[in-house]
Chains A and B, each alone.
Chain A
């Protein structure tokens, strides 16, 4: 057995790395225990008599030297909570080190004694924990967002169910009122000319109430579409004819630019027209304070990946990566969307229009129709100019052919022209 002093024996069996440098001799190592060999992968006989510059990289050596000098200058213990050394085989070792200045009275030498604990495993598990935590935070955020969407969807469903009931209950008294007004209007010309005006206003009020109720029923009954492949350009043309009066009356200029050879889109023509009419009329209303009112309609084809990147589209679950979509945008140069309104635009009954001018259902019905088409409708302020832009993202395919059961046999319906796509029964 090799003869060792007690001190040497203790040092070599310590679970921590211990070393000492001679500050009066260019910080050369005079002590290097077993654990220090293990941590640095440098044998004691190689290290003793050398300094940090001989053993470590220039950068590390400079760092160690600066700490050593600071320890000497302070004349008291210094703690280094975490430092990293790179071993010859490229492994990073994380150390928690304490450096102590020692004045050796016998030799008169000034020493820096270091005691290092290898905390690599701790650091790794800490980093892993942090990574896990970040994942958790992200998952939680996603969960909350999904929950919000669910709540919103549930809210819309409840309103839909409620609406159908309310509509029936309200339409009956309205029917009675209208018949009463009909009867009175056909009476002998009354002496008081106001009677005629009053009856006219009463009829208009009944009709207005009926429109609101009908909007509600529309909202709650949008669950079935009759879709066929259509050129978007034709739909836009048709819609512009339908809103021509409104555009002329408000002296709104319209410019349409559609990319050549746009792929066909599968639309329920009449429902989709309702969406476009709604968006255009909204745009016109938003420009009431604008001097030269202008609506720009643009359409282009893109692959979904570009769309998700550029537009921040949410519909990943509906579209597939790489799918072709058509983007239709309607720009206005009106007052834009107030920040306080932006979160509520699609809420049923939310309207910025004066009482009687809007039911507050137009956009929520429009979005619902677009979503039934497997598309997405968003409304934002324009980035460079004033005004807003309504953006429709439409798939160029029908969703995966749905499976229906016909007399006990499972049959897959092919996406064909004029297919009737029913999307779940939402009323139950």
Chain B
């Protein structure tokens, strides 16, 4: 069964292309939410295995969405990967994947191979 990924990012073009890439990589069912204020509702309805969350978004930012998800009983266990254009290269040099608290952070532009590896790590085997 395909693992379910929820993409929350206000950049419609970016989410669309990421969905295409993930789906072609195989084994993923991807849902897009471009409006961060609807992220919680979409997550409830879709019940993803992992959430890819942009940081800088209008309305609610990634941090707000994360707090909301983590305080919702049925959703708090879902692993979240933050995607951000704010990380600087010195932070990235330590293994390219940063850890903000228990939070996975990936830099934009996203290295697809790296993202797939990270997803394999955090998702339960299909």
Contacts and interface: CB of A to CB of B under 8 A. Distances in A.
Interface of A: 164, 167-168, 171-172, 174-180, 182-183, 186, 206, 210, 214-215, 217-218, 221, 270-271, 274
B112 A167 contact: no
Contacts of A168: 56, 85-86
Given A217-B88, A221-B88, A180 B109 contact: no
B90 interface: yes
Contacts of B13: 176
Nearest to A213: B85
B22 to A, nearest CB: 10
Interface in B73-104: 83, 85-90, 93
B90 A271 contact: yes
B117 to A, nearest CB: 14
Interface in B3-33: 11, 13-14, 17-18, 20-21, 24
B106 to A, nearest CB: 10
A325 to B, nearest CB: 26
Contact of B109 (A164, A178, A270): A178
B85 A176 contact: no
Contact of B110 (A179, A214, A217): A179
Interface in B42-71: 56
B11 A218 contact: no
A176 B11 contact: yes
Contact of A183 (B11, B21, B90): B21
6 contacts: A167-B85, A172-B14, A175-B83, A175-B110, A177-B109, A217-B88
B90 A179 contact: no
Contacts of B83: 175
Looking at chain B, what size class is its interface with the partner chain?
Answer: 20 to 34
A240 B88 CA distance: 24
Contacts of A214: 88-89
B38 interface: no
Nearest to B87: A217
A46 B56 CA distance: 99
Given A172-B108, A217-B86, 10 more contacts: A171-B107, A172-B85, A175-B110, A176-B14, A179-B21, A183-B21, A214-B88, A214-B89, A217-B87, A221-B88
A218 B90 contact: yes
Contacts of B24: 183, 186
Contacts of B86: 164, 167-168, 217
Contacts of A174: 108-109
Q: Which of A164, A172, A179, A180 has the most CB of B within 10 A?
A: A179
A270 B21 CA distance: 35
Nearest to B25: A186
Contacts of B112: 178-179, 182
A171 B14 contact: no
Contacts of A176: 11, 13-14, 17
B3 to A, nearest CB: 19
Contact of A218 (B85, B88, B109): B88
A215 B92 CA distance: 12
A175 B85 contact: yes
Given A168-B56, A175-B85, A183 B20 contact: yes
A195 B60 CA distance: 40
Contacts of A182: 21, 112
Nearest to B92: A214
